[in-house]
Amino acid sequence: MRVVIEPDYEGMSRKAAAMVADLVRRKPDCVLGLATGSTPIGLYKELIRLSREDGLDFSRVTTFNLDEYHGLAPEHDQCYRYFMEKNLFEGLKTRPKRTSVPDGLARDVDGYCASYEKAIKDSGGIDLQVLGIGGDGHIAFNEPGSSLGSRTRLVVLTEETITDNSRFFASADDVPRFALTMGVATILEARKCLLLASGIKKSKVVREAIEGPVTSQITASALQLHPDTFAFLDEDAADLLELKDYYKHVEKMYGEHGVGRRAAVAATR
Ligand code: F6R
């Protein structure tokens, strides 16, 4: 895993956005996997800026979102479809060709989840997946104990996730208890993964995910098995990493020497 540490949230967001933009320029019909939550908002703002000021063209791009609360209609102002419209799609100069967010009102949940997986496969698979990390180490809504072989399915949210996400609702009681989520194995099939984390509150779980054992108790740790994952962190989120200085040294060396695929981040500086 490449660990890219930036001084602050803005720098981290710009660096991650540059990697997404680079893909969209090289492969205009690429498939992006997208996340919601506070963390990727800066990345989405930067993509909107690049679309409006630099002509970054999303018109042939397909997107799939990681997850959605179960039981919320697409118009609900806390559902993830609404979040994506407000924080990315509506702002872009050219809207992506196709955008998919799991349907929180799906009735035949198992059938729907299988069709979401099929739609990802039929699109050619996800080229780049954007991810945040939950306080309990989840990626998407793969809560502790989720099988590392899990696929898209209905899950029960943990109390920690409900409390964390209650900041967006009138009260914790209003947070849905279930969600539809891509599985860990679905995520690991993406060709490239970008894990974003910012703030001191995430530092402990970031260390567990990046430097701890691979475990279903911290599903983000499964990214250690993925051959092309970048973790974009701000200094606060990176605070407890034991090898922090080494990760910085690695990025500096790649930046200075620009070797092969490894030069990708350097090129975006
Ligand atoms: C959202 C998602 C979640 C969030 C995670 C972090 O689509 O999949 O895993 O990425 O809960 O949320 P924030 O960024 O709000 O801390």
Q: Is 67 a catalytic residue?
A: yes
Q: What is the C-alpha separation between 235 and 7, in angstroms, rounded?
A: 5
**72 against 110, higher pLDDT:** 110
**155 against 77, higher pLDDT:** 155
CA angle 230, 183, 108 (to 5 degrees): 145
Residue 47, φ and ψ in degrees, nearest 5 = -65, -40
Minimal-distance CA residue to ligand 1 atom 11: 134
Instruction: Set out the domains of the chain in order of their start, with CATH numbers.
Output: 2-267 (3.40.50.1360)
Give pLDDT tens digits for 155-193: 999 999 999 999 989 999 999 999 999 999 999 999 999
Q: What is the pLDDT of residue 259?
A: 64
Residue 253 C-alpha to ligand 1 middle, in angstroms?
31
Which residues lie closer than 8 Å to 169 by C-beta, 6 or more apart? 78, 175
Minimal-distance CA residue to ligand 1 atom 15: 37
pLDDT(36) > 90:
yes
For β-strands 178-181 and 153-156, DSSP reports them as antiparallel
Helix (H) or strand (E) holding 4: strand 2-6
Q: What is the pLDDT of residue 75?
A: 86
* Residue tagged 């947070």 (tokens): 175
From the list 46, 117, 127, 138, the catalytic residue is 138
**Atom of ligand 1 lying closest to residue 39 CA:** 14
Give pLDDT tens digits for 111-154: 999 999 999 999 999 999 999 999 999 999 999 999 999 999 99
